[in-house]
Structure 1
Amino acid sequence: MDRLEKVALLKKGLSRLSPELREAVILRDIEELSYQEIGNILRIPDGTVKSRINRGRVELAKYLQKYRPFTHGFSA
């Protein structure tokens, strides 16, 4: 699986998340914002930010697990 296919797979996985989880994961893992910055943007407490990020990552990992042989060593 080449890089473009991996990126497409990641985008598809992100699109399967609820908007709340997707937003938190993208802001943290792609935009590299702090929990406090994300909380300020989304107007939610830091604990809720952490919870959404964790749940989003777990759901995304479950989706990507189906493709594990193809995504081993994934780096976008």
Structure 2
Amino acid sequence: MTTDTDRLTLQEAYLSMFEFIVELYQRTRSDDLGAMLGDLSLLADGTTADPAAWGDWLKCVEKARRRGVDASLVITPPPL
């Protein structure tokens, strides 16, 4: 059960996602993740380095709020 104290603001959720990707990048040194972090980084005025990133983030938030995200693990056997 979720309580009000468990809820994150959009900013806190964004920063949580950002930190998750930072930690993954530090383990993998993936160029793709590094580029993504560059786009998702916040500028001094609080906007994202890639102007579309915040809007993309909000679309994902809305999809999750509508229960439209399926994070279930599905293991498909390789073809024979």
TM-score by length of 2: 0.33
Higher relative contact order (CA 8 A, sep 6+): 1
> Quick check: which has more Rg, 1 or 2?
2
Normalised to the residue count of structure 1, the TM-score between the two structures is 0.34
